[in-house]
Structure 1
Amino acid sequence: MMTFIAFIGAAVAEITGCFAFWYWLKLNKSAMWLVLGTVSLWLFAYLLTLVESEFAGRAYATYGTVYIFASILWMWVIEGNTPDRFDIIGTFVCAIGALIIFFGPRG
């Protein structure tokens, strides 16, 4: 359960951080957005250290699907752009890959 919470928190923090930089650079908003972006990206990195995995790379690979799902949700809810069938299919394909990576039997 802690892994799931860490992944969700990391996704929110990473997307918020990246969006803050995007907001500042692409939309010419105040440089104060860089403070939010920096703090959010620091929190993102910290939260990924809470994931229960023997190897960081495996945790990061699995997290990629959570990030993809959260990004599509962000695009829909925050940016007002409805995901198309390719967004949805791609997210599910990634989810299957993440499940194999994270839960695959290792010997």
Structure 2
Amino acid sequence: MPTIAAYLGAALFEIAGCFAFWGWFRLGKPLWWLAPGLVSLALFAWLLTLVESEAAGRAFAAYGGIYIAASLLWLWAVEGLRPDRWDITGGMICLLGAAIIIAAPR
């Protein structure tokens, strides 16, 4: 599986899993929300193991930038709050950092 696809899938599953807990704890959603959240978090962890990297720390560091940008998309698509210019600027900086880590010649 290509690295970017694994990262994008991992981001979706991690955000969804964490949002399930957020929904239960902060939004008063029913307890059963935690079950799909736990499955989602397990899928997130599994997808990160598919990233082609010789070191977990490097794979996780690059993923961090993807996660931040995906979280801002979640903010907009799911929570209905449009990211402001500071969110977008910060997300772009994080994506640049992730691209440097992913594309560096090794």
Helix, strand or coil at the partner of 1:32: helix
Aligned to 1:59: 59
| TM-score (norm: length of structure 2) | 0.94
Which residues in structure 2 correspond to 1:2-13 (within 5 Å)?
A: 2-13=2-13
CA RMSD of aligned residues (A): 1.1
Which residues in structure 2 correspond to 1:69-84 (within 5 Å)?
A: 69-84=69-84
Match of 1:98, as an amino acid?
A: A
In structure 2, runs of 5+ residues without a counterpart are none
User: 1:83, 1:27 → 2: CA distance?
Assistant: 21
Helix, strand or coil at the partner of 2:43: helix
| TM-score (norm: length of structure 1) | 0.94
Match of 2:37, as an amino acid?
A: G
Aligned to 1:23: 23
The structural deviation recorded for 1:33 is 0.6
Match of 1:48, as an amino acid?
A: L
Aligned structure 1 segments of 4 or more residues deviating by more than 4 angstroms: none
In structure 1, runs of 5+ residues without a counterpart are none
